Amino acid sequence: MKLTRERVVAERNWVRDRADVVVPIVNAVRDDLGAVFETDVDSVTQLQYRREVDTVFSDGDLAVNVAAMVAILRELDVEGDYPGFVVDELLGRELAATIAGTQPLRTLGEATFHYTDLQVHGERDENAGVDDLEAALAAGFQERIPGWDWTERESPFGVDPET
């Protein structure tokens, strides 16, 4: 695979254009996890998703890595699927973490990927990696987009440099 600026743009466009598929997954996951953790979590709009996609892809070093994983997962198919499920799980988890950002969101993105992946099943005519890709996009972007109460408050563990 050769990655060029044009390929990164093409992968960004594919990810943006998947809003109608990814955003409902994000919202279903947020509803489920909100219920489990007994908290209200804001829904995500397609506009919020697309803006966050643009933010991720505006950082060139991040963009090229995200684009590479997206491209691989889009094209990944293994005859019989099962023997190749490890590689799409590995790539999906890493993509979700990369999109989510720094700790603790990175680890939450990975964990959320595994939960989300159980909920997402691809179409029969799609490559095996596409459902993992959609789960990864949903898991990673749902961590980046505001809506969780704990991310909207100042942490009680921050230490004042003057102390």
**Burial of 139: CB neighbours in 10 Å, binned 0-12, 13-18, 19+:** buried
Compute the distance between CA of residue 90 and CA of residue 95 in angstroms, rounded to an integer. 9
**Burial of 87: CB neighbours in 10 Å, binned 0-12, 13-18, 19+:** middle
Look at residue 52 and tell me if it is in a domain. yes
Would you say residue 113 has pLDDT above 90? Answer: yes
Q: Omega into 104 within 30° of 0, i.e. cis?
A: yes
Look at residue 159 and tell me if it is in a domain. no
Look at residue 153 and tell me if it is in a domain. no
Look at residue 125 and tell me if it is in a domain. yes
The CB density around residue 108, as the number of other CB atoms within 10 Å, is: 21
Tokens 């955003």 belong to residue: 23
Look at residue 163 and tell me if it is in a domain. no
Would you say residue 61 has pLDDT above 90? Answer: yes
Measured torsion, CA atoms of residues 10, 12, 15, 16, in degrees rounded to the nearest 10: -110
Q: How far is CA 151 from CA 64, 67, 95, 144, in A?
A: 27, 27, 21, 10
10-42 pLDDT tens trace? 999 999 999 999 999 999 999 999 999 898 899
Domain count for the chain, please give it: 1
3-state secondary structure of 30: helix
Look at residue 107 and tell me if it is in a domain. yes
Would you say residue 81 has pLDDT above 80? Answer: no
Look at residue 154 and tell me if it is in a domain. no
Would you say residue 49 has pLDDT above 70? Answer: yes
Compute the distance between CA of residue 47 and CA of residue 150 in angstroms, rounded to an integer. 23
* Rounded average pLDDT over 85-107: 92
Look at residue 130 and tell me if it is in a domain. yes
118-163 pLDDT tens trace? 888 766 667 677 889 999 999 999 999 988 877 777 777 888 888 7
Q: The domain containing residue 46 runs over which residues?
A: 5-148
Residues across the chain: 163
